[in-house]
Amino acid sequence: MTSNSRFTQSSSNPERLYLASPSSAALQTSALDSEYSGFKPLRLAGKAILPIVQGGMGVGVSAHKLAGAVARENAMGTIASIDLRHHHADLMEQTERCRDRDEIDRVNLIALDREIKAARAVSGGRGLIAVNVMKAVRAHPALVRQTCESGADVLVMGAGLPLDLPEMVADYPKIALVPILSESRGVAIVMKKWLKKGRCPDAIIIEHPGLAGGHLGAAKVSDLHSSKFEFETVLQDCQALFAELGLGSDAPPLILAGGIDSHEKVRHWLNAGASGVQLGTAFAVSAEGDAHVNFKKVLIQANPRELTEFVSVAGLPARAVPTHWLKQYQLHEVRMQASAKADPRRCAQRADCLTQCGLRDGIGRSGQFCIDMKLVSALQGEVSKGLFFRGAGKLPFGEEIRPVRELITYLLSGLRPATLAQHTPVCAVQAA
């Protein structure tokens, strides 16, 4: 290997050698295409892209910088649509003391439009720009419309069964629709409902709730590690379902998400029937990630075996880093749930971001905190106040913050940057 190579050969795959020298313009533009990775491309939204998807992470963790950088490498970058105004000083100035949810909704649609267009500019027209819209968010119909109007390639929807999504995009037939589901029963429900409407999902993300971060697709925390969510089981069940439905070559590609944290796992699942893999945390801590560096450090320094599983205010199980705030909240959670009461004034911002909110609606079985405020605090690097969602996988580059290009190169080729420090941790985060 030449002395100016930026990547080292993978010991797990010594016959594959891939060099990406900064002086080679040809490699810089095409080295990450599937012909180099040895995997079939993911065909979605009229394009053939790398089988790598960056998951949507809100609030604001995956915005235009991250999504655009991923798309620029000919993969799929995803913008999380919720409360993007926090990336725009002028929009925050307009809503600083605002308690009018309609006005907050209005500026957030402006922010989403800006982010989609900015991501497109960063991508240089390569790859795909996707937007993740949570079904559980009150304003999801408006966010869906804005996503379409602003020209995103793909619309991803999770946090609930998106049974009515085809109707929402009826005027925008070109946008690709990708539901997030966790097991074959949910896939069957969505598939049969959509097919009756003349629409088939363009792809399906299968997210393992026992491994992914953020809000999770299980009925309760105790179900998170059920065997029904195992990728092998879901792949087999989905393939049987597609055969039963007679889809043949029209069957939607399956993209696996959760715990896929190495080249070896990427290679295994792409050879086992998956058409793509999705990662969240590894992209969140990349150099292009849109969150504050303190956010990245919290995720990097967390032990993936010691994450907290709990019920969020949306009534969904969730997984996050056990920061000081989360530990304190859990100490008082039972008492707070016992005193839960419906009161719109408990929504401090009057944003009513969720269709169903445990705090605002007095739902004792759900979380009792403002999730938007906690996620925004995390985005802004406020370690003592924020809620830091994280997946249960290891980070490919340990405690280093590296560029998106290097992450995608490693996932597809097994090659790590030669400059990767083995024992140099990031600066410690000062916890308040």
Question: Quick one: tokens of 179?
Answer: 């539901």
The distance of Cα 377 from the centroid of its chain, to the nearest Å, equals: 18
Tokens representing 389?
A: 């969602």
Query: Which residues pair with residue 178 across a beta bridge?
Result: 156
Q: Which residue has the tokens 């725009």?
A: 88
Distance between CA atoms of 132 and 153, rounded to whole angstroms?
A: 11
Show the beta-strand stretches assigned E in 245-361.
254-257, 276-279, 308-311, 317-320
What's the distance, CA 356 to chain centroid?
21
pLDDT at 420: 66
3-class DSSP assignment, residue 333:
helix
pTM for the model: 0.88
| Res 428: pLDDT | 36
Please provide the distance, in angstroms rounded to a whole number, between the alpha carbons at the two ends of the chain: 47
> Using CA atoms, how far apart are residues 112 and 369, in angstroms rounded to an integer?
25
Instruction: Note the pLDDT of residue 37.
Output: 58
Q: Give pLDDT tens digits along the chain (432 positions).
A: 333 334 444 444 433 323 233 333 333 334 445 444 579 999 999 999 999 999 999 899 999 999 999 999 999 999 999 999 999 999 999 988 888 888 999 999 999 999 999 999 999 999 999 999 999 888 999 999 999 999 999 999 998 899 999 999 999 999 999 999 999 999 999 999 999 999 999 999 999 999 999 999 998 999 999 999 999 999 999 999 999 999 999 999 999 999 999 999 999 999 999 999 999 999 999 999 999 999 999 999 999 999 999 999 888 999 999 999 999 999 999 998 998 888 777 777 767 676 677 677 788 888 888 888 999 999 999 999 999 999 999 999 999 999 999 999 999 999 988 766 544 444 333 333
SS3 319: strand
Give one DSSP letter per residue of 339-398, joined into a string. Answer: T--B-GGGSTT----BSS-HHHHT-TTS--S-HHHHHHHHHTT-TTT---B--SSPPTTT
φ, ψ (nearest 5 deg) of residue 344: -60, -20
Q: At what angle do helices 263-270 and 404-413 cross, to 10 degrees?
A: 60
Q: In 6-127, which ranges are E strands?
A: 7-8, 42-44, 47-49, 52-54, 76-80
Euclidean distance between CA atoms 54 and 86, whole angstroms: 21
Q: Tell me the one-letter amino acid at 231.
A: F
What is the number of H-type helices and E-type strands within the chain? 16, 15
Contact status, residue 321 vs residue 307, Cβ threshold 8 Å: yes
Identify which of 172, 168, 171, 194 has the alpha carbon closest to the alpha carbon of residue 181.
Answer: 194
Cα–Cα distance between 114 and 41 in angstroms, integer? 29
Specify the pLDDT at position 101.
84
Q: Is the peptide bond before 59 cis (omega within 30 degrees of 0)?
A: yes
The reported pLDDT for the residue numbered 16 is 35
Asked if 353 and 83 touch (Cβ cutoff 8 Å), the reply is yes
Query: What is the reported pLDDT for 5?
Result: 39
Domains of the chain plus CATH, in order, are 7-299+394-417 (3.20.20.70), 304-379 (no CATH)
